[in-house]
Amino acid sequence: MSGLFALLDDVAALVKLTASSLDDIAGATGRASAKAAGVVVDDAAVTPRYVQGLKPERELSIIWRIAKGSLRNKLLIILPVALILSQFAPFLLTPILMVGGTYLCYEGAEKLWERFSGHAEDAQVDGAAAADPVAHEKRVVASAIRTDFILSAEIMVIALNEVADEGLLNRAIILAIVAVLITALVYGVVGLIVKMDDAGLALAQRPGRAVAAFGRGLVRAMPIVLSTLSWVGVVAMLWVGGHILLVGMDELGLHAPYEWVHHLEVAVHDATGGLGPALGWITNTFFSAVLGLIVGAVVVAVLHLLPIGRKSAGHSGGAAAHGEPGESGTSAEPGESGVVGEPGKADGPPAH
């Protein structure tokens, strides 16, 4: 009998230890998610532009495919690579992030160049969508997953830094939870945004005058909302990319740019009283975006304006036109072309 009581004591102690560990994991998950909130907002702002111009009945399917690609990237690539590097080669995290930040700067600067130079791709996209809608959807998903990959890497590294003192297993569990929660949050919000006009149309057909008026207001507002989000997404890519580079340069020993922006941020914060936190953040964001625009403009110039860039772009375009490798993400599989491909199945759950 005494042996049974001893066993029960051991079980009780183990349960208490497990509960304590779960509390620690839950608390650390909350801290890590909160730290990454800024990039999460950017991710939600960037994604809706990828479904603009698509058929309404395809919007949720496209978002579902992007969400699955995003979650696979987080769990199968970013999470294990981040854990391995943080454990054995933490010095590589910053340079890898800076490469991704440079890509975000390029993406944002290229969108601005297309809009202001008369080379906007809207007409080309409409033509491609009409000619081969399935291939067009694959390109849309691939482009969205590539951009999301960089934002996801930033989110995961921010979360990882917040729980760096945890054990390896706890870090893995925390980052996996963060990956699932943030993916659900971002793409749930994106789904609500892009289907808001459908909800407005349904409300506009209701008998109640106030409800119908609210529905018509939603329908009228959606083009403005999506256009605004498209611009916010471009600025977000420049800001996040520039901020990654700014912080990365500081961590690699080039302190002057970061210190200059930080001192200016503190000065604005201290000089503006109650508005200090917001205006200080805006100051840091503005100069991060300026740096992102400068770096992105240099990359755009190399790829679009210089002879070597035009030659490479022409070759890639020809490959894409003939269905050759070159239009897809880092390791596409049949049926999808994001960073981690999606086998053959093209559609997610049906749009409602």
Q: Kindly state the percentage of the chain with pLDDT values over 90.
A: 14
Name every residue whose Cβ is closer than 8 Å to that of residue 143 and which is 6 or more positions away in sequence: 50
Measured between alpha carbons, how far is 344 from 238 in angstroms, rounded to an integer? 34
pLDDT tens across 219-240, in order? 888 888 877 877 887 888 888 8
Name every residue whose Cβ is closer than 8 Å to that of residue 314 and which is 6 or more positions away in sequence: none
The pLDDT, as a whole number, for residue 337 is 45
Measured between alpha carbons, how far is 44 from 190 in angstroms, rounded to an integer? 6
In 3D space, the residue among 47, 71, 50, 64 whose CA is nearest the CA of residue 351 turns out to be 64
Residue 336 one-letter amino acid: E
- Category of 343 on φ-ψ map: left (φ > 0), alpha (ψ -120 to 50) or beta: beta
Count Cβ atoms below 10 Å from residue 48 Cβ, excluding itself: 21
Residue predicted with more confidence, 45 or 160: 160
**Phi, psi torsion values for 331, nearest 5 degrees:** -145, 75
Measured between alpha carbons, how far is 242 from 289 in angstroms, rounded to an integer? 5
Residue 258 one-letter amino acid: Y
- Radius of gyration, CA atoms only, the chain: 23
- Category of 232 on φ-ψ map: left (φ > 0), alpha (ψ -120 to 50) or beta: alpha
Residue 237 one-letter amino acid: M
The pLDDT, as a whole number, for residue 264 is 93
Confidence of residue 342 (pLDDT cuts 50, 70, 90): very low
Measured between alpha carbons, how far is 53 from 303 in angstroms, rounded to an integer? 26
CA dihedral 170, 174, 179, 181 (to 10 degrees): 150
Name every residue whose Cβ is closer than 8 Å to that of residue 345 and which is 6 or more positions away in sequence: 335
Residue predicted with more confidence, 334 or 221: 221
Computed over every residue of the chain, the mean pLDDT equals 73
Residue predicted with more confidence, 13 or 115: 115
- Category of 53 on φ-ψ map: left (φ > 0), alpha (ψ -120 to 50) or beta: left
pLDDT at 345 exceeding the cut of 90 = no
Torsion 94-100-106-112 (CA) sign: negative
Instruction: Tell me the CB-side half-sphere exposure of residue 249, using CA atoms within 13 A.
Output: 18
pLDDT tens across 124-176, in order? 545 555 566 778 788 888 888 887 887 788 788 877 877 777 788 888 888 88
pLDDT at 99 exceeding the cut of 70 = yes
Residue 61 one-letter amino acid: S
Confidence of residue 329 (pLDDT cuts 50, 70, 90): very low
